[in-house]
C-alpha cells in the first residue's frame, strides 16, 4: 500500500516539476519579447 502511494506521489511531483518548468519558459519568453519591443 505504501509503495502505491509513493508511486502516485512521485508521478504528481514529476508532473508539478514539468508544469513549473513550462511556466518558467513561457515567462522567460514573455520577458525577452518585452525587452526586444522596448529597446
Ordered DSSP codes for 1-39: -HHHHHHHHHHHHHHHHHHHHHHHHHHHHHHHHHHHHH-
CA 3 from chain center: how many Å?
A: 25
pLDDT of residue 1: 65
CA distance 39 to 29: 16
Instruction: Report CA-CA distances (Å) from 29 to 5, 9, 12, 25, 32.
Output: 36, 30, 26, 6, 5
- Flag residues of the chain having pLDDT under 50: none
Amino acid at each position: 500500500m505504501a509503495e502505491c502511494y509513493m508511486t502516485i506521489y512521485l508521478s504528481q511531483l514529476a508532473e508539478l516539476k514539468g508544469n513549473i518548468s513550462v511556466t518558467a519558459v513561457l515567462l522567460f519568453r514573455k520577458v525577452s519579447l518585452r525587452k526586444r519591443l522596448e529597446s
